[in-house]
């Protein structure tokens, strides 16, 4: 083989090498582009999926909070209404009992007065003393009964107010715990999404290194 043939063959081999290198580089770049598109598509799908999951959780929690708040408010209003109704009934009963007591004692006093008037004028002094004592006794009995009724009504009112306050505190604590649980669940989903995206990217980088 002469020098001209050798140079020609060498040039031809060099051209073939360059063409092959360029073709392999183009194929490699196409493969990288395809993998990048696949990774981006998967990442977008995962992101949308996590976003939809978070939106569903947020909506469910909002509905649950709204429902819980409505139930709590309705329960509080119901208990307040029942308490007010019971207080009105107790006050009405108390007034009726006082009126009955007054009528009963007035009737007894009238009966006593009639009996003493019939006894004659010679018994007037004894009548006056006995009448005064009877009035004092009747007044003391009525006042004692009034105090007892007022004390009972006051105890019931304080107990009712305490029950309402405890109910409000319990409802508030339940709402705060629900909000805390919802926040923890949301943070857990975001952490899972971040870890999955990181793992996907690491796998993609590893595939690039293996090429």
HSE, CB side, 13 Å, CA atoms: give it for residue 78.
Answer: 7
pLDDT tens-digit series, residues 96-143:
877 776 777 667 667 666 655 665 555 566 656 766 776 777 677 767
pTM of the predicted model over 0.95: no
Q: Is the dihedral of CA 41, 42, 45, 51 positive or negative?
A: negative
pLDDT tens-digit series, residues 8-18:
766 677 777 77
Range of the domain at 17: 3-210
The tally of domains found in the chain comes to 1
């Amino acid at each position: 083989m002469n020098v001209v043939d050798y140079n020609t063959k060498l040039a031809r081999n060099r051209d073939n090498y360059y063409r092959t290198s360029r073709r392999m580089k183009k194929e490699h770049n196409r493969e990288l582009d395809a993998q990048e598109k696949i990774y981006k598509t998967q990442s977008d799908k995962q992101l949308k999926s996590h976003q939809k999951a978070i939106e569903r959780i947020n909506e469910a929690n909002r509905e649950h909070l709204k429902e819980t708040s409505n139930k709590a408010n309705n329960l509080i209003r119901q208990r307040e209404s029942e308490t007010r109704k019971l207080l009105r009934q107790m006050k009405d009963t108390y007034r009726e009992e006082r009126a009955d007591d007054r009528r009963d004692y007035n009737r007894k006093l009238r009966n006593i007065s009639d009996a003493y008037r019939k006894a004659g004028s010679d018994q007037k002094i004894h009548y006056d003393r006995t009448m005064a004592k009877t009035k004092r006794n009747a007044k003391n009995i009525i006042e004692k009964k009034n105090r007892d009724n007022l004390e009972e009504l006051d105890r019931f009112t304080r107990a009712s107010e305490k029950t309402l306050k405890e109910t409000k505190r319990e409802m508030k604590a339940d709402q705060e715990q629900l909000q805390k649980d919802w926040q923890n669940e949301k943070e857990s989903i975001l952490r899972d999404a971040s870890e999955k995206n990181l793992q996907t990217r690491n796998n993609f980088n590893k595939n690039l290194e293996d090429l």
